[in-house]
Structure 1
Amino acid sequence: MESSSAAQSVVETWSAEATSLAGAFRVVARHHPDDIAVKDEENVLGYRELDDLSDRIAARLRARGAVDGQLVGVVIDRSVSTPAALLGVLKAGCAYVPLDPAYPESRLRHAVGDCALEIVVGDPKTVDQCGLGALRVVDPGAGHDGGAPPAGEIEADASAYVIYTSGSTGLPKGCVVSHGNVLALLRHTLPLFDVGPADRWTLFHSACFDFSVWELWGALLTGATAVCVPAETARAPEEFLDLLERERVTVLSQVPSAFRALCRMAGAAAPDLSLRYVVFGGESLDLDLVGEFVRHTAPRPPVMVNMYGITETTVHSTIRFLTGQDLDGKGTAPVGRPLPHVVISLRDRDMRPVPAGEAGEMYIAGEGVAKGYLNRPELTAERFLTLDTDDGPRRFYRTGDLGRETESGELEYLGRNDQQVKVRGFRIEPGEIETALRDHPTVRDAAVIAHDSAQGATLLACVVLRDGEPGRPAEAALRRHLATRLPAHMVPRRFAFLDDLPLTLSGKLDRNALLGLAGAGRNGRP
């Protein structure tokens, strides 16, 4: 898709003047002072107002002792206060660490200790309820009680935020991302979309999930409006669909697991939506799901965009604008081509490039590759590697994700290289079984896990049936269906029939919760 003049114009304006997110925002605010920047259920802030409020927060942070490069916690909510706080932290020359009150207190305390946080921005009552009252607290809604924030521009390699992701050791690890990482994403990606100041983006995801970086800064650095979605609304498809219609949202970002329920509701409600783009990321995307939503929103369906990326490479690394031909197919959507600022190399277990058409682990280089893991030098060295290329040595992030280059030169995502399971001596990729289950007409969604049982490692299929379909009687039909597509060792021994698949707070499939079902033996045979 060609670059759009609206996005290109705004991006070129701040690119010429700014090296930081805070600096880029100031440029946009100067050109769009009276346009709406962010809104929630009760409050609206224009660009000038958001600029002024974040300046006051930055000044209060400096008055409370914050210094350049310091990590500052932000206890987030789904209101205009959170974007103001994040921007205020950056204007103070600091990096923000989002802390979600919905997370367990032990996880919040781990982040506080790991980052050595001394200051937190947030509602004092909420901060105290999170068990963080011992920190110095800056209330984003309080008045101005200090001097002016620093006036100088922040360097591109300065840290912008630390987001915690799951760790293989059981402890989350903090990924450090720079201003330059985020600006590179926006500079090279936004002009691929026909977006501009007239658009309205949902701020759907928690700031603890990096999809929110794309949602918030994509809106603010094109002069658009970011619409905060309340947590309760995000979990209620009927209410969320109403919000999309009422707020005339034009740009929506979704993880496929969460989008399924919205798609089902759209089919029942026939809404009058203003959506122009739906951007997917975070998980494999089934083409039949996309096609179903396009049919529900005809005759003015949005452009459906599939993207792949991870926190360590700054949200997005590939893009594919799905075509009508794509939507006539089945299976999972291709993740497309690398974004202009990204290089992806497919390599084998010995880190050698694989021949064209063969599967390999994705290694990502370019301006999006993050600084590394906070206080984890050994893990950083293990995952962020300098490798030889035809153009000389380059720094790559080793993703652990498998991909294959198609004949058209695009990438096909094949799942995680560490999600393989071994059952009865066979190595099995659960995604292959999940795809086969979803191809059955009675199945809306499915997830497959391996768990320990008296018989050793056993496969459990967790299935969500379409409305009106029977529960347990479907098991025999699904077994027959799988037997026509998969070898016997890949047919799950147990089935659990659920109303919906459990999701994490960031909207991804909660495999730990599925393991809990396996242990409880819910709806499955022992």
Structure 2
Amino acid sequence: MPHPKDFFAVNAHDLRGFLDVLQCLYSLWLSAPKPPTREIRDRSAESSLSVAFPLVTPAYRLQATEDVRDASVVFGSSAAVPYDTIHDAFLAHVGMPTELVAIVDHGGDSMTYRELERLSGRLSAWLRSNGVGQGARVFLLIERSIAQIVAILAVLRAGAAYLSISESPFATLVPVAVLPHDSAYIIYTSGTTGRPKGVIVSHSNVCNLLCLSPGNLGIRPGTRVSQLLNVAFDMCAWEILGCLMNGGTLHLRGPHRQDWINVLKTVDVVISTPSILEQHDPADYPNIRVVATAGEPCPQSLADRWAQRAIPTPNNAVYILDAEMRPVPRGMPGIMWAGGRGVCMGYLNRPDLTRDKFLRDPFLVQGGMMYNTGDIGKLQEGGQLIHLGRVDDQVKIKGFRVELDGVTAAVRACPGIESACALLIGQDLWAFYSPTCVPTEEIRTTVVASQPYYAVPCKYHALSVMPLTT
């Protein structure tokens, strides 16, 4: 039986799971002479093994299901959310005895919470008088500024949802629709098929994440928070709303690189993507005490540079399931499904896609929905989640399955490489990297040392600057 070279380095928890699988297979083979079949392919060879059974014992499956139901939330404890809407959380900080500064722009202009409440309230009243209310959607075409923040709060206070298209490439592709009453905002993504997808995010989703620790990132009245990201990017809402719902002061960056540096040297809390953080040295910003990152895979080396540990958010769950929606054996990889109050409302005007990705959560007693993240992972003993890659990043090269994330990591491991990306273009595996000064042969030598021959890129292309998600 072929196996990974480091198989016997697994811990006892993973080994028990593997033994459960073997026990189940042997007993089923002996008891069923002509079982129905489904194909499971060995990742290390083209030979296939046909089985038709759940690969865990009935006792383990019952225990795994009960464990999920008993825990209710796999990674975060249950907690009461103090506010029902985003603007309720914001208004709670308006009447505080100390006059709090809400926003500071890159030119030094500022606005207090009282001023922001007054202006957003006036604009909200005007919107309502013109028929904008629950279920409506308001397009915001405003550059990064204090006025943009005023408009966002005004729309929310009117009961509508906002869609900021000031920097979105999908502005002309957005269909008109009436939204559910709890909708707060819509974020568009290109999607794996190239067709834009509008994700509807509710007040409940936002309040559960941003009003509770650790999702609120320890933001308190007076905490200085960065606003660096493109307003069309989903993490931008974490910056803006997470700050104003907890009494922080939002610092808006300007258009130039020095503006980014000025903000980073000022704030206490930074929310950004890994590729942006890679360009900066934590030692240059001793003022920063909290960093939150998402949107891209985060290399372990980057995480080690910026932070020591991460804490799960309350009222949320992560399940590791097989293709038949059953808990997988201990330590075995499966598809990661997200459950709990953080699951959003689905895709705008895409009921087909919503049905595929959002299913009723069978593990939570109180019900709800769960979402197929498309990630592959496993749970270690003690509940630690290990991310193994993406379902859609797995490709076939010369008949072998290859994880592009693994090839990317191998290229990035070469000394001198700052950014890398592996792509399958046609039948060729390409490696894109920066900076340009690293010789191709050095990169290839590094990759060959850790990857099988079929996972070694045949073409290399140096980039002066790696395109980033902002």
Q: Establish whether TM, by shorter chain, passes 0.5.
A: yes
Q: Residue 279 of structure 1 aligns with which residue?
A: 292
Partner SS, residue 252 of structure 1: strand
Give the one of 164, 170, 188 matched to 1:98.
164
Question: In 1, distance between residues paired with 2:137 and 2:156?
Answer: 10
Report what 1:130 is aligned to.
none
Cross-structure match for 2:263? 243
Secondary structure of 1:479's aligned partner: helix
Distance 1:222 1:76 in 2: 24
Is contact 1:39-1:79 (8 Å) kept?
A: no
Q: Counterparts of 1:194 and 1:58 in 2: how far apart (Å)?
A: 29
Structure 2 Cα separation of the partners of residues 490 and 447 of structure 1: 13
| Equivalent runs, 1:440-519 vs 2, <5 Å | 440-452=414-426, 457-465=427-435, 470-471=437-438, 474-504=439-469, 507=470
* Alpha-carbon contact 2:224-2:268 (below 8 Å) kept: yes
Provide the secondary structure at the position in 2 that maps to 1:261: coil
Partner of 1:399: 373
Larger radius of gyration: 2
Report deviation, 1:288.
2.2
Q: What residue in structure 2 maps to residue 34 of structure 1?
A: 99
Q: CA contact under 8 A between 1:33 and 1:46: conserved in structure 2?
A: no
Q: For residues 142-196 of structure 1, give each alpha carbon's deviation from its aligned partner in whole angstroms, at most 9, with x where no partner exists.
A: xxxxxxxxxxxxx9x6111111122234221111111111111123334774431
- Is residue 261 from structure 1 mapped to residue 279 from structure 2 by the alignment? yes
Candidates 139, 154, 161, aligned match of 1:88? 154
Instruction: Tell me how far apart the structure 2 counterparts of residues 191 and 286 of structure 1 sit (CA, whole Å).
Output: 21
Relative distance call for 1:76 and 1:447 in structure 2 (3 A) is same
- Separation in 1, partners of 2:366, 2:125: 45
Q: Which residue of structure 1 aligns with residue 142 of structure 2? A: 76
Alignment of 1:356-371 (within 5 A): 356-371=330-345
Match of 2:128 among 52, 59, 62: 62
Aligned AA (2:437):
P
Structure 2 Cα separation of the partners of residues 225 and 168 of structure 1: 36
2:210 equivalent in structure 1: 186
Counterpart contact for 2:230–2:236, Cα < 8 Å: yes
Comparing 161-170 with 76-85, greater Cα deviation is found at 161-170
Change over 3 Å in CA distance of 1:66–1:33 after alignment to 2: farther
Q: Matches of 2:224 and 2:367 in 1, distance apart?
A: 41
Q: Which of 212, 216, 230 is the aligned partner of 1:206?
A: 230
What is the CA-CA distance between 1:388 and the residue it aligns to?
2.5
* Distance in 1 separating the partners of 2:397 and 2:403: 11
Say whether the 8 Å CA contact 1:72–1:96 is kept in structure 2.
yes
Selected match of 2:394 from 420, 425, 430: 420
CA drift of 1:79 comes to 0.8
What SS is found at the alignment partner of 1:443? coil
SS in 1 for 2:277: helix
CA distance in 1, matches of 2:195, 2:333: 30
CA distance in 1 between counterparts of 2:432 and 2:227 reads: 30
Structure 1 gap ranges (5+): 1-10, 118-154, 295-303, 305-321, 324-335, 508-526
- Equivalent residue, structure 2, for 1:518: none
Do 1:337 and 1:410's aligned partners in 2 also have CA atoms closer than 8 Å?
no
**Among candidates 197, 204, 207, match of residue 173 of structure 1:** 197
* 2:385 is the counterpart of 1:411: yes
> 1:377 and 1:261, CA in 2 relative to 1: closer, same or farther beyond 3 A?
same
Counterpart position of 1:109 = 172
1:202/1:428 Cα in 2 relative to 1: closer, same or farther (>3 Å)? same
Question: Is the 1:200–1:227 contact (alpha carbons within 8 Å) kept by the matching residues of 2?
Answer: yes
| Alignment-mate amino acid for residue 212 of structure 1 | C
Partner amino acid, structure 2, of 1:177: V
Listed one character per residue, the Cα deviations across residues 441-464 of structure 1 (whole Å, up to 9, x for unaligned) are 122221100001xxxx11000111
The unaligned stretches of length 5 or more in structure 2 are 1-78
Q: Report how far residue 350 of structure 1 moved.
A: 2.0
Residues 361 and 368, structure 2, Cα contact 8 Å, conserved in 1: yes
Tell me if structure 2 keeps the 8 A contact 1:421–1:427: yes
1:24 corresponding residue in structure 2: 89
Q: Is the Cα–Cα contact under 8 Å of residues 188 and 341 in structure 1 kept in the other structure?
A: no
8 Å CA contact 2:215, 2:313 repeated in 1 = no
Q: Name 2:243's counterpart in structure 1.
A: 219
Partners of 1:272 and 1:175 lie apart in 2 by 34
For the residue of structure 1 that corresponds to 2:93, the secondary structure is helix
- Contact 2:219–2:247 (CA<8 Å) still a contact in 1? no
The amino acid that maps onto 1:30 is G
Whose RCO is larger (CA < 8 A, sep 6+)? Answer: 2
CA distance in 1, matches of 2:388, 2:143: 35
Distance in 1 (CA, whole Å) between partners of 2:148 and 2:376 is: 35
Change (3 A) 1:76 1:416: farther
Aligned-partner Cα distance in 2 for 1:218–1:283? 20
C-alpha distance 222-67 of structure 1, shift in aligned 2 (>3 A): closer
Would the alpha carbon gap of residues 32 and 446 (structure 1) be closer, same or farther in structure 2, given more than 3 Å must change?
A: farther
- Deviation, 1:338, is 4.1
* Aligned counterpart, 2:317: 343
SS at match of 1:441: coil
Q: Render the CA deviation track for 1:322-368: whole Å, top value 9, x for unaligned.
A: 25xxxxxxxxxxxx664221011111122221112111111111111
Label 1:220 to 1:192 Cα distance change in 2 as closer, same or farther (>3 A). Answer: closer
For residues 498-519 of structure 1, give each alpha carbon's deviation from its aligned partner in whole angstroms, at most 9, with x where no partner exists: 1221124xx2xxxxxxxxxxxx
1:315 corresponds to which residue? none
- In structure 2, what residue type is equivalent to 1:470? C
Shift of 1:470: 3.2
> Alignment partner of 1:207: what SS?
coil
Residue 19 (structure 1) shift = 1.8
* Percent of aligned pairs with the same amino acid: 33
Q: Give the partner amino acid of 1:459.
A: L
Deviation track 1:91-123 (CA, whole Å, cap 9, x = no partner) reads 1111111112x334xx21112x34479xxxxxx
CA contact (8 A) 1:202 1:228 kept: yes
Q: CA RMSD in A?
A: 2.4
Cα distance in 1, alignment partners of residues 348 and 285 from structure 2: 45
In structure 1, the residue corresponding to 2:222 is in which secondary structure?
Answer: coil
- Alignment correspondent of 2:358: 384
Asked if structure 2 preserves the Cα contact closer than 8 Å seen for 1:33 and 1:48, the reply is no
Q: Is the contact made by 1:337 and 1:409 (CA closer than 8 Å) also made in structure 2?
A: no
Per-residue displacement from partner, 1:309-334 (whole Å, max 9, x unpaired)? xxxxxxxxxxxxx25xxxxxxxxxxx
What SS class does the counterpart of residue 72 from structure 1 fall into? strand
Q: Which moved more, 1:397-406 or 1:45-54?
A: 397-406
